[in-house]
């Protein structure tokens, strides 16, 4: 490690000949060290080693850029343009104290963490610089707090801490803290100028923390104290053993020991510092840092560094805001060149091959990797490595280079085609070969059959015609592995093919579900019949009533016969048909709508009509206009195994028609003077006419109309022979046609005069 000149020069001045009492107990007396730059008031907790205990003691920067310049406010100090008079550094602490209404007081305080614990019985000196300005408060404007409040230091231990209070106002009779360890009367503090203050303290115990605060003195609570306030600032605080020297320069820097690395490696630095806010690494060469502001930065040497064989790295502190000097330290990194070995080529090996000895130039290096059983001579075992591609590394020298190669080890193949076996002539053969080594394989045949996929271990083989004629065939499985270091292998099986035995079944194709049970027959007796509806499996008796309608597969099984081909047949059981149907009326007269039957049974039958009646055979619709009048019988029939039929009788009568007007004008102009009907095929009718209140104004029956075509119904007079008023009337007409069928008509009639 190089000498750290600036560091040693700096600390020789501090320590001198009495190192025991050289350093003050609080390392941040100038309040220069902070975690985050202050931007607003109330940020005392940003300062390292200080914490606020009541209200918000403020951290000030000498620039006062973030403070207001209003006289009497927190920026009053800045408005006095006295920044240049700050004792040292660029930061200081400000806080407030005062008395109010003779009953309560306000104060701010903070806690310091000591770098060293106090020693019981040891004398200590407390030095600091203090500055104050007047501050108005409410209706009162007094000078300083004067002798109404004192300024003090209370030493305590973190194991028995004081309780921080957040309420800014406290009753005079109930102070929040006990009597201070040491204090100074505030009247001794000058106004408008920085002034040096000093006091002594004999420790009565072991303490590691101290509370700095205002507290009311014996004069508190008097009228003279009411309304007195003050704004105070503190800097350059020193708590030291008596006779010691206050130190405000705490910077130290150490770059760490010199290092040696191999060419191609990076350098991980391990520096250290004390009291330094920031630091920077620099290089005398052309290398690069991952982050040159990190104490443990990583340095990558450049080409010039490697060519020169070394490089100097320097760690430098930031420029302090105190009278202290910037410090730095350096280390030397030595770069050791390495050799670059080359491994000789290695051909692929079989897993069953004997061990081989690898070679490289230069010799004498170390071998490593899967399968290396001797790291000195490079002996490689294919069996120990196993199948795969293995990475082998060869390294030479303390800073030697290395070379990497790969060795392919191929799996030794084995094949087993399976046992010789036999199949029936109507069967396919599924191969059951096994292997080791996961080779690519191919099946081949001595016959004329074919494989569905000859590359599969369980390929399916379909015998050819020659295979069936010969009765046997030889099947061979072989490995295919071009370039594999292991030898190829094959295996065979003999497949015997046995002719089939067949059976002819005698079974009806179709039967009705209401038919009697029937027996099935086979030209090869002795088998068993299986299927829905079979009630005797040995005799083959089939009951259609049990099976029910549908298509049923019947199988015939024959045991004890080699390669018997199972026989199957299908029998159809038809459902018994229901031919229920009817026409809604017994008579249909022209010119009515064509009658269509209502089918209450099964659909799909055939309709027919006697005496050349015109009927649709699929729907049963009768064409009245194409059929003569008379009585007809209609049949609905199903053919097939389940035959059935039904009939219905209807009469087709003469033509029938009725025309009813909806307005008439009984004004004796001989045009449309009466309510008159036009009709045909009617032998009698009745007519009733009601007014809008539901009263009958006309009612009459008419008979013997068979040979008439028109009839005057109403002349517009009521039953008492009075003229009916104009308006809308309701009519109801019931007509009986020549076939004695009733027809009812209802509607509205308008009478206009």
- Burial (CB < 10 A; 0-12, 13-18, 19+), residue 637, is middle
The SS3 of residue 9 is helix
pLDDT at site 464: 94
Q: Single out the residue of 413, 391, 411 nearest to residue 402, CA to CA.
A: 391
pLDDT by residue (tens digit) across 126-136?
Answer: 988 887 765 54
pLDDT at site 202: 95
pLDDT at site 173: 67
Two tokens, residue 130: 């203090």
Query: Residue 140 pLDDT more than 50?
Result: no
Two tokens, residue 303: 């080409």
Distance spanning both ends of the chain, measured CA to CA = 138
The SS3 of residue 679 is strand
pLDDT at site 23: 54
Reply yes or no: is the peptide bond before residue 188 cis, omega within 30 of 0: no
Give the separation between CA 213 and CA 154, rounded to whole angstroms. 8
pLDDT at site 680: 86
Give the separation between CA 221 and CA 171, rounded to whole angstroms. 10
Query: Residue 15 pLDDT more than 50?
Result: no
pLDDT at site 217: 73
pLDDT at site 96: 74
pLDDT at site 61: 64
Q: Single out the residue of 192, 136, 164 nearest to residue 44, CA to CA.
A: 164
For 277: left if phi > 0, alpha if psi spans -120 to 50, otherwise beta; the answer is alpha
Lowest-confidence range among 142-156, 509-523, 717-731? 142-156
pLDDT by residue (tens digit) across 710-741?
Answer: 998 999 998 888 999 999 999 999 999 887 88
Query: Residue 10 pLDDT more than 60?
Result: no
Two tokens, residue 712: 């005057």
pLDDT at site 740: 83
Q: Single out the residue of 339, 336, 358 nearest to residue 347, CA to CA.
A: 358
Higher pLDDT residue, 220 or 640? 640
Give the separation between CA 27 and CA 6, rounded to whole angstroms. 20
Would you place residue 243 in the very low, low, confident or very high pLDDT band (cuts 50, 70, 90)? confident
Average pLDDT over residues 208-219: 82
| DSSP structure class, residue 164 | P
Query: Residue 14 pLDDT more than 70?
Result: no
468, containing H or E segment: helix 465-470
For 399: left if phi > 0, alpha if psi spans -120 to 50, otherwise beta; the answer is alpha
Higher pLDDT residue, 274 or 281? 281
pLDDT at site 246: 73
Give the separation between CA 381 and CA 372, rounded to whole angstroms. 6
Query: Residue 453 pLDDT more than 70?
Result: yes
Give the separation between CA 222 and CA 401, rounded to whole angstroms. 88
pLDDT at site 640: 83
Contacts of 395 (CB under 8 A, 6+ apart): 341, 365, 366, 368, 401, 402
Higher pLDDT residue, 574 or 323? 574
Average pLDDT over residues 319-333: 73
DSSP string, 409-456: EEPPPEEE----EEEETT--EE---EEES--EEEEEESSS-EES-TTS
Query: Residue 354 pLDDT more than 50?
Result: yes
**Average pLDDT score, the chain:** 83
pLDDT at site 143: 40
Give the separation between CA 298 and CA 292, rounded to whole angstroms. 8
CB of 267 closer than 8 Å to CB of 261: yes
pLDDT at site 65: 47
Query: Residue 12 pLDDT more than 70?
Result: no
Higher pLDDT residue, 178 or 453? 453
Q: Single out the residue of 128, 114, 126 nearest to residue 86, CA to CA.
A: 128
pLDDT by residue (tens digit) across 539-577?
Answer: 999 999 999 999 999 999 887 777 876 788 999 999 888
CB of 477 closer than 8 Å to CB of 440: no
Give the separation between CA 100 and CA 600, rounded to whole angstroms. 112
Give the separation between CA 297 and CA 260, rounded to whole angstroms. 16
The CA angle 351-354-358, to the nearest 5 degrees, is 100
The SS3 of residue 174 is coil
Lowest-confidence range among 180-189, 225-234, 611-620? 225-234
Lowest-confidence range among 228-237, 455-464, 676-685, 695-704? 228-237
For residue 96, CA distances in Å to 93, 109, 681 come to: 11, 9, 127
The CA angle 103-106-110, to the nearest 5 degrees, is 145
Pairing of strands 727-737, 50-54: unpaired
Q: Which strands, in side-by-side order, build the sheet including 279-283? A: 259-262, 328-336, 310-317, 279-283
pLDDT at site 324: 54
| DSSP structure class, residue 45 | G
Torsion of CA 617, 620, 626, 629, to 10 degrees: 130
Query: Residue 141 pLDDT more than 70?
Result: no
Lowest-confidence range among 194-208, 321-335, 373-387? 321-335
Tell me the sheet residues that pair with 681: none
Give the separation between CA 98 and CA 106, rounded to whole angstroms. 5
Query: Residue 184 pLDDT more than 70?
Result: yes
Within a 10 A sphere around the Cβ of 191, how many other Cβ atoms?
12
Higher pLDDT residue, 88 or 256? 256
Higher pLDDT residue, 32 or 618? 618
């Amino acid at each position: 490690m190089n000498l750290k000149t600036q560091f040693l020069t700096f600390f020789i001045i501090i320590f001198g000949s009495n190192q025991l009492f050289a350093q003050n107990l609080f390392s941040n007396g100038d309040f220069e060290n902070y975690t985050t730059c202050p931007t607003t008031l109330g940020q005392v907790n940003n300062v390292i080693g200080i914490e606020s205990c009541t209200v918000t003691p403020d951290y000030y920067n000498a620039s006062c850029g973030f403070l207001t310049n209003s006289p009497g406010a927190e920026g009053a100090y800045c408005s006095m343009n006295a920044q240049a008079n700050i004792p040292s550094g660029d930061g200081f602490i400000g806080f407030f104290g005062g008395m109010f209404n003779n009953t309560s007081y306000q104060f701010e305080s903070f806690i310091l963490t000591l770098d060293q614990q106090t020693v019981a019985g040891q004398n200590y000196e407390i030095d600091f610089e203090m500055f104050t300005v007047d501050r108005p408060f409410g209706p009162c404007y007094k000078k300083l707090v004067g002798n109404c409040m004192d300024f003090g230091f209370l030493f305590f231990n973190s194991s028995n801490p004081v309780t921080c209070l957040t309420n800014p106002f406290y009753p005079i009779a109930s102070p929040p803290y006990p009597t201070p360890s040491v204090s100074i009367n505030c009247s001794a503090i000058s106004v408008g100028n920085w002034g040096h203050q000093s006091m002594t303290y004999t420790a009565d115990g072991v303490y590691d923390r101290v509370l700095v605060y205002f507290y009311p003195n014996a004069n508190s609570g008097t009228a003279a104290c009411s309304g007195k306030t003050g704004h105070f600032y503190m800097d350059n605080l020193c708590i030291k053993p008596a006779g010691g020297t206050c130190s405000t320069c705490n910077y130290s820097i150490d770059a760490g020991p010199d290092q040696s690395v191999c060419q191609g490696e990076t350098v991980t630095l391990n520096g250290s510092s004390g009291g330094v806010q920031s630091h920077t690494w620099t290089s005398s060469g052309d290398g690069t840092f991952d982050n040159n502001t990190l104490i443990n930065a990583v340095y990558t040497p450049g080409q010039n560094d490697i060519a020169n064989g070394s490089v100097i790295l320097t760690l430098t502190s930031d420029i302090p805001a105190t009278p202290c000097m910037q410090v730095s330290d350096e280390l030397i990194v030595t770069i050791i060149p390495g050799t670059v070995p080359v491994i000789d080529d290695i051909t692929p090996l079989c897993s069953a091959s004997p061990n081989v000895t690898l070679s490289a130039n230069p010799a004498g290096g170390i071998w490593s990797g899967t399968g290396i059983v001797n790291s000195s001579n490079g002996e490689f075992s294919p069996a120990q490595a196993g199948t795969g591609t293995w990475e082998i590394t060869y390294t030479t020298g303390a800073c030697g280079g290395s070379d990497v190669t790969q060795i392919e080890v191929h799996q030794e193949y084995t094949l087993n085609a399976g046992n010789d076996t036999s199949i029936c002539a109507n069967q396919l053969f599924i191969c059951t070969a096994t292997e080791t080594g996961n080779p690519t394989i191919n099946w081949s045949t001595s016959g004329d059959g074919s494989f569905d996929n000859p590359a599969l271990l369980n390929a399916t083989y379909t015998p050819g015609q020659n295979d069936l004629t010969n009765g046997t065939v030889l099947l061979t499985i072989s490995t295919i592995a071009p370039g594999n270091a292991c030898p190829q292998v094959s295996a065979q099986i003999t497949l015997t093919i046995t002719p089939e035995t067949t059976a002819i079944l005698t079974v009806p194709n179709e039967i009705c579900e209401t038919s009697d049970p029937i027996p099935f027959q086979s030209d090869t007796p002795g088998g068993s019949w299986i299927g829905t509806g079979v009630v005797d499996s040995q005799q083959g008796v089939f009951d259609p009533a049990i099976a029910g309608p549908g298509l049923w597969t019947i199988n015939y099984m024959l045991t004890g016969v080699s390669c018997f081909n199972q026989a199957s047949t299908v029998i159809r059981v038809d459902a018994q048909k229901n031919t229920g149907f009817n026409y809604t009326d017994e008579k249909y007269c022209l010119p009515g709508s064509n009658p269509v039957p209502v089918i209450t049974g099964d659909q799909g039958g055939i309709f027919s009509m006697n005496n050349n009646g015109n009927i649709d055979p699929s729907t049963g619709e009768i064409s009245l206009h194409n059929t003569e009048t008379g009585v007809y019988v209609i049949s609905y029939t199903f053919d097939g195994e389940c035959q059935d039929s039904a009939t219905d009788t209807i009469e087709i009568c003469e033509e029938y028609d009725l025309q009813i007007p909806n307005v008439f004008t009984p004004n004796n102009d001989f045009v449309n003077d009466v309510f008159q009907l036009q009709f045909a095929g009617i032998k009698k009718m009745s007519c009733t006419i009601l007014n809008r209140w539901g009263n009958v104004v006309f009612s009459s029956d008419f008979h013997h109309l068979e040979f008439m075509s028109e009839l005057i119904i109403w002349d517009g007079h009521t039953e008492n022979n009075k003229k009916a008023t104009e308006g809308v009337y309701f009519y109801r007409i019931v007509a009986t046609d020549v076939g004695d069928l009733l027809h009812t008509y209802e509607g509205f009639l308008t009478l206009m005069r």
